[in-house]
Amino acid sequence: INGQDVEGISGLHVAAANGHVSLAELLLEEGADIDVANNCGWTPLMHAAQHGQVSMVSLLIRHSANINATNVLGTTALMLCAAGGHLQAAQALVEHGADPDLKDMCGKTALDIAVACTKMEV
Domain segments of the chain as ranges: 11-116
Average pLDDT over residues 13-33: 98
Q: What is the pLDDT of residue 122?
A: 61
Judge: domain 11-116, CATH 1.10.10.10.
no
User: What is the average per-residue pLDDT within 53-79?
Assistant: 99
CA 12 to chain centre: 12
Whole-number Cα distances in Å, 37 to 1, 45, 65, 74, 107: 14, 10, 12, 13, 22
Alpha helices in 51-117 (DSSP H): 54-62, 77-84, 87-95, 110-116
Q: What percent of the chain has pLDDT over 90?
A: 95
Nearest Cα neighbor of 43 from 9, 19, 73, 18 is 9
Would you say how long the chain is, in residues?
122
